[in-house]
């Protein structure tokens, strides 16, 4: 279950909206029969900071990296802009780090950690809450998907139907075993990671 995989209990999940969105995404993937799911995978980056992937799914079609955003309001943003905007009307707007770029960085970190053996076999999913409205999200990347959670199952199944298998069963198990060692790390690494994100947002 999710608690065993993520280290987050039910009540912590319930009271933390970010984790709540992540839980719903995890649960949907689990319901679809995915067996090799990892949450909160922290990997080292070249600048001594860390990269945290919310959810990673490994199956014979590739490595799927999910960034979960449990936001409401209107969401605006381009694929390559540093930040996106959450808007609740003309006078109430908030900036947040562009999750498309964030996930691109996560994939780069995972690929490097796996010795670049699986380059080109990754898919990026940015999953927003059903409570938001996605506006003017421009995408050019073939393997990048920005969707609301209620579209996750249909888009994911559609993708698997049109793709070919890229990994053997033994490769799937090997990737899962390697990345599992970096899942659910200590609180000190999590704290440092959050501090780095805040620094980037204020830069």
Indicate which CATH number applies to the domain containing 45.
Answer: 3.40.1350
Query: What pTM value is reported for the model?
Result: 0.81
If pLDDT is split at 50, 70 and 90, which confidence band does 193 have? very low
Mean pLDDT across the chain: 82
pLDDT in tens, 101-157: 899 999 999 999 999 999 999 999 999 888 888 877 777 777 999 999 999 999 999
By CB atoms closer than 10 A (0-12, 13-18, 19+), residue 79 is middle
pLDDT value at position 155? 94
* 82 within domain boundaries: no
Residue 155 resides in a domain: yes
Give pLDDT, residue 4. Answer: 56
52 within domain boundaries: yes
Could you tell me if residue 86 is inside a domain?
no
Domain residue limits at 182: 2-70+99-202
- Taking the C-alpha atoms of residue 121 and residue 129, their distance in angstroms, rounded to an integer, is 26
Whole-angstrom Cα distance, residue 33 to residue 27? Answer: 10
**3-state secondary structure at position 80:** coil
Number of domains in the chain: 1
Per DSSP, the residues of 152-203 read: HHHHHHHHHHHSPP-S-HHHHHHHHHHHHTTBS--HHHHHHHHHHHHHHHH-
């Amino acid at each position: 279950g999710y608690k065993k995989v993520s280290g987050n209990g039910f009540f912590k999940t319930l009271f933390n909206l970010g984790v709540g969105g992540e839980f719903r995404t995890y649960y949907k993937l689990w319901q679809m029969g995915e067996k090799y799911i990892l949450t909160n995978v922290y990997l080292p980056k070249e600048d001594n900071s860390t990269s945290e992937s919310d959810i990673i799914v490994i199956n014979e079609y590739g490595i799927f990296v999910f960034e979960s955003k449990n936001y409401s309001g209107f969401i605006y943003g381009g694929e390559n802009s540093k930040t996106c905007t959450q808007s609740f009307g003309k006078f109430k707007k908030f900036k947040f780090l562009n999750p498309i770029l964030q996930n691109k960085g996560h994939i780069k970190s995972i690929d490097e950690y796996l010795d670049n053996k699986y380059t080109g076999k990754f898919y990026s999913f940015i999953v927003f809450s059903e409570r938001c409205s996605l506006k003017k999200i421009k995408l050019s990347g073939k393997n990048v998907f920005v969707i609301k959670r209620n579209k996750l199952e249909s888009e994911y199944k559609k993708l698997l139907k049109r793709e070919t298998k890229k990994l053997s069963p033994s490769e799937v198990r090997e990737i899962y075993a390697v990345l599992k060692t970096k899942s659910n790390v200590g609180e000190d690494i999590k704290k440092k990671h959050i501090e780095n994100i805040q620094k980037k947002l204020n830069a």
